């Protein structure tokens, strides 16, 4: 409990809305550039890494709920639990010291992506009938055409895009942390996790 209280300092409370805005703004930038990734969890991973798993979870959850409830991306609201888990995982990997070497960062992203794919498949299969109305539906169509059922097809689609997406997000966060002034990073509770040795 004390740990949680320490994590949610005023700086964290201010950081989370900025992180959510980063998620949304970068997500839309990627959409404009027509890059076949989402990259809508950079802020979530950043908070998870610097502040901890709980704050990461709150960032992910609020991102998807706000994005959905404001009608900008209604689909995302259904995936709030996945977004929260991504934040938790970022925090755990940071605690485990995986944010110190670039190859461990990529590995952490790949694992996070795999878990995200496992968690989001039932949601997309049950709530949305396996499709999201986005470009990735083509992938679902291919897997359905190969004779997979709704749930396995959604899962296969997730596995083919989520690990790459999350690995890229983690790597971008790592680059950001390298570029941030140390004075700024030291204000966060998990600064030790990312400080260069």
Partner 1 sequence: MSEALSLYVARPSRVHQLHPLTKLALAGFMLVGGLLLPGPWGLYIFWALVTLPLAFLGRILNQLVIATLRVAFPFALSVFLIQGFLWTGGTPLFRVGPLSLKQEGLAFAIASTGRILMVVSSFLWFALTTRPDQLMATLSQRGFPAGLSYMIVATLQIVPRFQARANAILDAQRSRGLETEGNLRRRLKALLPLVIPLVLSSLIDVEERALAIETRGFNRPGQKTNLIVIPEAPWEPAARIGILICAVLVVGLGLWLR
The site for partner 1 (CB under 8 A) is made up of: 8-11, 13-18, 20-22, 24-26, 28-30, 32-36, 39, 42-43, 46, 58, 62, 66, 68-72, 74-75, 77-78, 127-134, 137, 140-141, 144-145, 147-150, 172, 175-176, 179-180, 184, 187
Find the shortest distance in angstroms from Cβ 138 to partner 1.
Answer: 9
CB-nearer residue toward partner 1: 107 or 180: 180
Residue from 141, 43, 129, 130 nearest 86 by CA: 43
CB-nearer residue toward partner 1: 40 or 162: 40
For 78, residues 6+ apart whose C-beta sits below 8 A from its C-beta are: 68, 123, 127, 128
What are the φ and ψ backbone dihedral angles of 130, each rounded to 5 degrees?
A: 85, -5
CB-nearer residue toward partner 1: 15 or 156: 15
Helices marked H in the chain? 2-7, 10-33, 42-51, 53-69, 74-77, 80-95, 102-128, 137-145, 150-179, 182-185, 191-194
CA distance 62 to 57: 8
Find the shortest distance in angstroms from Cβ 145 to partner 1.
Answer: 5
CB-nearer residue toward partner 1: 58 or 108: 58
The residue with tokens 């169509």 is: 141
Find the shortest distance in angstroms from Cβ 61 to partner 1.
Answer: 10
Find the shortest distance in angstroms from Cβ 121 to partner 1.
Answer: 15
CB-nearer residue toward partner 1: 36 or 96: 36
Find the shortest distance in angstroms from Cβ 85 to partner 1.
Answer: 19
Q: What number of other Cβ atoms are within 10 A of residue 65's Cβ?
A: 16
178, two tokens: 């390298």
Find the shortest distance in angstroms from Cβ 194 to partner 1.
Answer: 14
CB-nearer residue toward partner 1: 159 or 180: 180
CA distances from 108 to 11, 121, 122, 131, 136 (A): 26, 20, 23, 27, 23
């Amino acid at each position: 409990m004390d740990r949680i209280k320490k994590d949610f300092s005023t700086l964290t409370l201010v950081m989370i809305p900025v992180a959510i805005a980063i998620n949304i703004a970068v997500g839309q930038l990627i959409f404009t550039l027509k890059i076949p990734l989402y990259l809508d969890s950079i802020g979530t991973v950043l908070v998870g890494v610097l502040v901890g798993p709980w704050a990461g979870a709150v960032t992910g959850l609020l991102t998807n709920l706000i994005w959905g409830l404001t009608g900008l991306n209604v689909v995302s609201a259904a995936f709030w639990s996945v977004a929260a888990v991504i934040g938790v995982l970022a925090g755990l990997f940071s605690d485990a010291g995986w944010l110190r070497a670039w190859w461990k960062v990529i590995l952490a992203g790949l694992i996070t992506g795999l878990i995200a794919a496992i968690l989001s498949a039932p949601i997309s299969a049950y709530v949305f009938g396996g499709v999201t109305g986005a470009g990735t539906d083509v992938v679902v169509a291919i897997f359905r055409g190969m004779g997979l059922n709704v749930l396995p097809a959604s899962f296969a689609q997730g596995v083919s895009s989520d690990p790459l997406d999350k690995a890229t997000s983690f790597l971008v966060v790592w680059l950001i942390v390298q570029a941030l002034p140390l004075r700024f990073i030291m204000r966060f509770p998990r600064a030790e996790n990312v400080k260069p040795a």
